[in-house]
Amino acid sequence: MTALLKVSNAMCRVGRHNVLRIEQFQIEQGQHWCLFGPNGAGKTLLANLISGKRIESGKYVDYGDEFDPARDIQLVSFEEQQKLWEKDNRLDISEYQADAQDAGTLVCDLISGSRDAGFEDQGLFDELIEDLNLDRIRNKGIRFLSSGQIRKVLIARALYAYHPDAPQLLILDDPLESIDVDSKERIENCIDKYLHAGFSSIQLCRRSADILPGVTNIALMQDLTIVEQGQRESVEKGDRFKDHQQQAPSIPQQLPKNYSEDEELQDYEASSLIELTAVNANYGELEVLKDLSWSMLPDQHVLIEGPNGCGKSTLLSLIDGENHKAYGQEVSLFDRKRGSGETVWEVKAKFGVVSNELHNKYVKGWKVLDVVVSGFFDSVGLYDDSGTKEIEIASEWLDALGIEALAKHYYHEISFGQQRLVLLARAMVKQPRILILDEPCVGLDDYHRELILGVLDRIAEQTKTKIIYVSHVRDEKPLCINRRLSFEPNNSGGYKIAEYAV
């Protein structure tokens, strides 16, 4: 078999504390690898080294004679997704348009743009659109897509770029994350359909249940190195792989006390926490929510579920003060109608939020303790003077979550799973009336998923905070959930909301 690339004796410094060490790793044409391991194992770092995104790539990676990483590697990841969104938003000229609308980059153009002019393949393009169920959004701007929708578009773009006369390597960074059930099946089938002898791939994966059917080889990673590699069946039967599967977290027995419990009691006596009556939300001609009515009662912990793009995130933004479209509509929080004199900061003070959007806003420069303390001020980063009390409460939450040793570390240098725990601590320092979790387990390995869900049940048991939990994954929810709000397809191509007891 022809070797596409080989990594030898690689050493790459990661922040101030860690070093990626890879003794030997080789990909041959036609092989389909899975880099498997927990958060912080080094999977993304190795993928970046292989794809030429690290300055050390030229030193430690030898590519095959006909293999050009800039041309022949296609990458699908959260990072690429975020770059596309940011670029498209920077180029937004809607304020200069007569109708105040700018569609930006269209789905069809993003996919077809992965091939040079003269090499178009309309048959393959149409096939990918059908396989991934993209027809409804093919002429839609990518800035209006949900995270799951743009993931499918990026997969279509990567597969469309395939050229039979050159070796190709497709790198998929957890392609099944943030994906609804139907889309997950479509993605698995589509990728499996195009993985053949002339095409090689690397899947980065944190959960064994998400390893794609077409994977032929596994490299098990831990602590920034490969601890075992070989054919899939052999690795999965090995003791190291089994040991990884059996790791279980320690759920904290006691959470920090609520220091502000006696300061405001009226919210806890409200007849309803949230009341929406015939609420609508449109973006131009795009109708996201129509005549939505729903109330959340003081004894409820609610699961919100539905397919990618149905309007779940829009609903959350109407509630927590992020979306101005709530004003002028029948939206009441804690028995008080929105727009009746309260400031947006007074609304935000009653909510704690954990989401992928917030996760991506924290860039380099903030230490972990600063990130947690910023939760008192509902800011991204710490700009206000914090006192001893705020620091003490923030430290107690870090201690309860078992990450107190990271307080002085930089947020961008700790693992993804640790970052998500930090954001949960940030959301809870003020003991909010409602904790909103928008797919909080996306990007987490099984260990951190179990830890997050266990902590949420402790929050429900030991505090007065109520939980709104959004998830795409079936049966992935804390045990405290007692109400389910489901977005279900209607006859007009949109969605209706159905409510169930749990």
Span 442-500, pLDDT tens digits: 888 889 999 999 999 999 999 999 999 998 777 789 999 999 999 888 777 778 888 99
For the ranges 245-249, 266-270, 291-295, the lowest mean pLDDT is seen at 266-270
Structure tokens at 209: 């249940």
> What CA–CA distance (Å, rounded) separates 128 from 107?
12
Given strand 18-28, what is the order of strands in its sheet? 18-28, 3-14, 61-63
Q: What is the DSSP letter of 106?
A: B
Residue holding tokens 């309309």?
A: 122
Average pLDDT over residues 186-199: 80
| Joined tokens for residue 448 | 């951190």
Identify which of 487, 139, 488 has the alpha carbon closest to the alpha carbon of residue 313: 487
Per-residue pLDDT, 267: 56
Confidence of residue 91 (pLDDT cuts 50, 70, 90): low
Q: Is residue 139 scored above 50 in pLDDT?
A: yes
Bridge partner residues of 28 (DSSP)? 3
Residue pLDDT, tens place only, 32-72: 999 999 988 999 999 999 999 899 999 999 999 888 898 88
Least confident residue range of 70-74, 101-105, 351-355: 101-105
Domain annotation for the chain: domains and CATH numbers: 3-245 (3.40.50.300), 359-430 (no CATH)
Local confidence band at 145 (pLDDT 50, 70, 90 cut-offs): confident
State the pLDDT at residue 263.
Answer: 47
> So what's the pLDDT on residue 24?
97
Report the pLDDT value the prediction gives residue 372, as an integer from 0 to 100.
Answer: 94
Which tokens sit at 181? 């059930």
Q: Please, what is the end-to-end C-alpha distance for the chain in angstroms?
A: 54
Question: Quick one: which of 299, 295, 293 has its CA closest to 269?
Answer: 299
Contact 130, 111 (CB under 8 A): no
> Has residue 99 got a pLDDT over 70?
no
**Average pLDDT of the chain?**
86
Distance CA(26)–CA(437), nearest Å, equals 40
Closest CA to 11 of 43, 50, 56: 56
Q: Is the model's pLDDT at 143 over the cut of 50?
A: yes
Sequence letter at residue 76: V
Alpha carbon distance 326, 114 (integer Å): 39
Q: Would you state the structure tokens that stand for residue 485, as one six-digit string?
A: 């709000």
**Residue 443 neighbours by CB distance under 10 Å:** 21
Determine the pLDDT at residue 484. Answer: 94
Indicate whether 98 pLDDT > 50: no
Per-residue confidence (pLDDT) for residue 285, from 0 to 100: 67
Residue type, 16: R
Q: Which residues contact 1 (CB under 8 A, 6 or more apart)?
A: 28, 29, 30, 31
**pLDDT band, very low/low/confident/very high, at 268 (cuts 50, 70, 90):** low
With a cut of 60, say whether residue 131 has pLDDT above it.
Answer: yes
Structure confidence at residue 95 (pLDDT): 45
Residue of 267, 258, 255 lying closest to 389 (CA atoms): 258
Most confident of 151-165, 180-194, 219-233: 219-233
Mean pLDDT, range 143-165, rounded to an integer: 84
Strand, coil or helix: what is 63?
strand
Q: 173: which residues sit within 8 A by CB, 6+ positions away?
A: 43, 44, 47, 75, 76, 77, 78, 79, 204
For the segment 418-423, the average pLDDT, to the nearest whole number, is: 93
* Most confidently modeled range among 40-44, 216-220, 290-294, 411-415: 216-220
Question: What are residue 63's DSSP bridge partners?
Answer: 5
Whole-number pLDDT of residue 433: 92
Stronger pLDDT, 205 or 265, i.e. the higher one: 205
Q: What percent of the chain has pLDDT over 90?
A: 46
User: What is the average pLDDT across 391-412?
Assistant: 93
